Amino acid sequence: MYEEYWGLHTLPFENVPDPRFLYRSSQHEEALMRLLYATKSQKGAAMLTGEIGCGKTTLSRAFIQELASDKFEIGLIANPCLSPIDFLKEILFQLGVEKTVDDKAGMLRALNEKMLENLNEGKKTIVVIDEAQAIESDTTLEELRLLLNFQLNEKFLVTLILIGQPELRVKVKKIKQLDSRISIRYHLQQLDLNDTIKYIIFRLKVAGLKKNIITKEAIEKIYSYTGGVPREINNICDLALLDGFGTKAELIDSKIIQKLIDDTKK
């Protein structure tokens, strides 16, 4: 709606996990490096946590993009709120296993066969579980732990990547055998002011912006209001561009941001 007015070719602040818009702060680079290391070195399990809106899902999609399709078989579980049996079924489905198996033993055999097939083809098997804090049952977490029993020559046949909010750490800690198998961990924090400035400018440039349209004072006010949470930054920046378009503003300044902040308090 406002793209042409501001000289953009796409919306810059959508809250969707588009890897193009992943701002690689030092902590996002560190998180990505750890996930890639865990995967390529077949470390068994890794866990990425962070507060709501800190960019975990976008980072996970960038992580998947980094993995060559001819070297990795990736199963992405985006809705893990499932019973243990349905969880196994979903993993098989995401890994492209077409066998119809209803009992647990049969599913585990089919999964083992798929992992060995991938191994013989020179592929590593990866299972990424997003929003893993939504797993309600300790039994389901225990099933995940059992997947790590699939090994060959002291190498794990599967790499399990758990991604979720901070409460995931509490849930995993209750399953000591699973907790001990997670060799790589990282927790994403909110952005600081410097990264918030770079984040906003980065997303505008990715969206096609050729000139500066936002003042430093406006960004400082955005940071103060959002606490550096990317999702909240996206929300207020999107509204600011819309408001500026509506009032034919030449720049997004601190007055526009303050007006939007005041509107949320009404």
Q: How far are the Cα atoms of 67, 70, 216 from residue 37, in angstroms, in the given order? A: 11, 18, 37
Whether 88 is in a domain gets the answer yes
Q: Domain of 72: which CATH number?
A: 3.40.50.300
227 shares a domain with 108: no
pTM over 0.85: yes
Whether 136 is in a domain gets the answer yes
**Integer-rounded Cα radius of gyration of the chain:** 21
Structural domain total, the chain = 2
Range of the domain at 120: 26-188
141 shares a domain with 206: no
130 shares a domain with 244: no
Which of 151, 169, 188 terminates a domain? The answer is 188
182 shares a domain with 230: no
Q: Are 58 and 17 in contact (CB under 8 A)?
A: yes
Q: How far are the Cα atoms of 46, 134, 163, 237 from residue 131, in angstroms, in the given order? A: 14, 6, 6, 25
Which residue has tokens 């090994």?
151
From first to last of its 266 residues, the chain has per-residue pLDDT tens of: 899 999 999 999 999 999 999 999 999 999 999 999 999 999 999 999 999 999 999 999 999 999 988 899 999 999 899 888 999 999 999 999 987 778 888 999 999 999 999 999 999 999 999 999 999 888 889 888 889 989 887 789 999 999 999 999 999 999 999 999 999 999 999 999 999 999 999 999 999 999 999 999 999 999 999 999 999 999 999 999 999 999 999 999 999 999 999 998 77
Which of 138, 166, 188 terminates a domain? The answer is 188
Six-digit token string for 256: 């526009």
3-state secondary structure of 68: coil
Q: Domain of 243: which CATH number?
A: 1.10.8.60
Which residue has tokens 């699939």?
150
d(CA 150, CA 113): 10
158 shares a domain with 116: yes
- Continuous segment of H or E residues that includes residue 120: helix 104-120
Q: How far are the Cα atoms of 172, 210, 222, 244 from residue 237, in angstroms, in the given order? A: 36, 17, 8, 10
- Side chain identity at residue 230, one-letter code: P
Q: Are 87 and 146 in contact (CB under 8 A)?
A: no
Whether 15 is in a domain gets the answer no
d(CA 227, CA 31): 20
Closest CA to 47 of 138, 174, 146, 133: 133
79 shares a domain with 156: yes
